[in-house]
């Protein structure tokens, strides 16, 4: 009789359910894709934090400070 109107969070929840979770195949595909995206985001974040905390301490940063040695002849 009285039909209440859905609020924005309920509309969003219904849309997500209808798009991603209604069928098992789309749900599993969404989970796999979310896993890959999450893995890449975490990897880049942790690498960035590690690089900023170790700036100037890695081989790539200091290898130019070593003197260039000529190869020795064994003759």
Q: Is the pLDDT of residue 1 over 60?
A: no
Question: Which pLDDT band, with edges at 50, 70 and 90, does 2 fall under?
Answer: low
Domain that holds residue 29: 8-53
Answer yes or no: are the C-beta atoms of 48 and 55 closer than 8 Å.
no
The answer to the question of residue 64 being in a domain is no
CA torsion sign for 61, 67, 68, 72 is negative
The answer to the question of residue 34 being in a domain is yes
Per DSSP, the residues of 9-73 read: HHHHHHHHIIIIISSHHHHHHHHHHHHHHHHHHHHHHHHHHHHHHTTTTSHHHHGGGSPPPPPPP
Q: How much is the pLDDT for 25?
A: 92
The answer to the question of residue 46 being in a domain is yes
The answer to the question of residue 68 being in a domain is no
Span of 26-40, 43-57, 59-73 with lowest mean pLDDT: 59-73
The pTM is what?
0.61
Q: How much is the pLDDT for 6?
A: 73
**R_g of the chain, CA atoms, integer Å:** 27
């Amino acid at each position: 009789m009285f039909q209440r109107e859905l609020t924005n969070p309920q509309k969003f929840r219904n849309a997500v359910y209808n798009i991603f979770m209604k069928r098992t195949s789309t749900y599993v595909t969404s989970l796999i894709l979310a896993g890959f995206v999450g893995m890449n985001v975490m990897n880049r974040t942790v690498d960035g934090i590690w690089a900023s905390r170790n700036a100037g301490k890695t081989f790539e940063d200091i290898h130019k400070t070593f003197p260039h040695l000529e190869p020795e002849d064994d003759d």
